[in-house]
């Protein structure tokens, strides 16, 4: 049992399930799950903005379960569940860094071009 902020309910609740040993990296949790009906996988790690869920390679909803944990709804069958931490601050920071690097390159190119034009004008 888990309490959700969302009104999701299993159409055909599972009676048996197996969950493999999770694999962890700095920003990813991967689990293999098999259910004989619909169910909610609850990962007992703190839910925090920036976590995203994929089930069998497709984006899936990720809810807060029991007010603090992460919950992923699953249908019957075998599934590979991947939870990734990709906070918007990192995405925005990367985009700003790329834009800044491009700006520096453009300014460098313009400065070199202006120097060449001044040099040509001074000679001629």
Is residue 35 domain-resident?
yes
Which SS3 state, helix, strand or coil, does residue 8 take? coil
Pairing of strands 28-35, 39-46: unpaired
Task: Tell me the mean pLDDT in the region 36-59.
Answer: 94
| Size of the chain in residues | 124
Is the pLDDT at 55 greater than 80? The verdict is yes
Q: Are 42 and 83 in contact (CB under 8 A)?
A: no
Whether 44 is covered by a domain: the verdict is yes
* pTM for the whole structure: 0.70
Q: Is the pLDDT of residue 4 over 90?
A: no
Q: Mean pLDDT throughout 26-46?
A: 95
Structural domain including 114 reads 88-124
Residues 97 and 112 in one domain: yes
DSSP 8-25: ---SSB-S-EEEPPPEE-
- Average pLDDT for 32-41: 96
Q: How far is CA 114 from CA 5, 111, 122, in A?
A: 60, 5, 12
Is pLDDT above 80 for 119?
Answer: yes
pLDDT for 44: 92
29, part of any domain: yes
The verdict on residue 92 lying in a domain is yes
In this prediction, residue 122 carries a pLDDT of 84
Q: Where are the beta strands (DSSP E) in 56-110?
A: 58-60, 63-65, 69-74, 77-85
66 and 104 together in one domain: no
């Amino acid at each position: 049992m888990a309490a959700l902020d969302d009104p999701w309910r299993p159409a055909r609740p599972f009676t048996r399930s197996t969950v493999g040993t999770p694999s962890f990296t700095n920003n990813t949790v991967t689990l293999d799950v098999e259910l004989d009906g619909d169910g909610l996988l609850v990962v007992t790690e703190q839910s925090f903005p920036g976590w995203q869920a994929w089930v069998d390679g497709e984006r899936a909803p990720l809810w807060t379960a029991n007010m603090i944990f992460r919950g992923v709804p699953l249908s019957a069958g075998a599934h590979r569940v991947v939870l990734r931490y990709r906070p918007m601050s990192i995405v925005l920071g990367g985009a700003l860094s790329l834009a800044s690097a491009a700006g520096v390159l453009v300014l460098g190119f313009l400065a070199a071009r202006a120097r060449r034009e001044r040099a040509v004008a001074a000679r001629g």
